[in-house]
């Protein structure tokens, strides 16, 4: 699949930092979950809430690899990005990055998400509307 990048600027907040004034590493997971929610909000008219709430489709993480490469400090502006690396029948793999204004990657990760029924908790096919929106976004970002 052709990669498609979704990104947002983010100012590191006090609430995301430890007493040393640097991002407390679990906060990156909150930041990237919020980024995924914003991404799906842009992809689908009903947004993330519609997928989780109305359609009752869960999107749990089943695999996560993370590299912490440099620190991010309170007050810094960073760019949070995600790329779709792979879309399968019931899962997709995303690549995340947090990059400083200086171009230095602060953290990078690969995440595999599986779509599930929130009623049965069994894996299900990626909803067709979500798959089509991801594929359309990727096609519109081809070089």
Do you know the residue count of the chain? 143
**pTM of the entire structure?**
0.90
The H or E element spanning position 64 is: strand 61-68
DSSP 76-143: -EEEEEEEEEEE-SSEEEEEEEEEETTS-EEEEEEEEEE-EETTT--B-PPPHHHHHHHHHHHHHT--
For 112, the token pair is 């595999």
pLDDT of residue 2: 46
pLDDT tens string for the chain (143 positions)? 445 689 999 999 999 999 999 999 999 999 999 999 999 999 999 999 999 999 999 999 999 999 999 999 999 999 999 999 999 999 999 999 999 999 999 999 999 999 999 999 999 999 999 999 999 988 876 65
For 94, the token pair is 């995303």
* Domain regions of the chain by residue span: 5-140
For 113, the token pair is 């998400």
Q: Which CATH class is domain 5-140?
A: alpha beta
Closest CA to 99 of 12, 3, 4, 1: 12
pLDDT of residue 78: 98
pLDDT of residue 16: 97
CA distance 23 to 89: 35
CA distance 53 to 56: 5
């Amino acid at each position: 699949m052709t990669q498609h990048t979704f990104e947002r600027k983010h100012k590191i907040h006090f609430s995301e930092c430890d007493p040393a004034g640097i991002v407390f590493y679990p906060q990156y997971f909150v930041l990237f979950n919020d980024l995924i929610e914003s991404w799906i909000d842009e992809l689908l008219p009903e947004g993330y809430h519609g997928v989780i709430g109305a359609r009752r489709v869960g999107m749990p993480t089943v695999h996560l690899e993370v590299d912490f490469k440099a620190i991010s400090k309170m007050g810094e502006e960073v760019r949070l990005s995600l790329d779709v690396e792979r879309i399968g029948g019931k899962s997709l793999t995303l690549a995340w990055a947090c990059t400083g204004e200086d171009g230095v990657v602060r953290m990078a990760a690969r995440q595999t998400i599986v779509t599930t029924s929130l009623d049965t908790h069994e894996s299900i096919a990626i909803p067709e509307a979500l798959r089509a929106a991801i594929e359309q976004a990727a096609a519109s970002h081809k070089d």
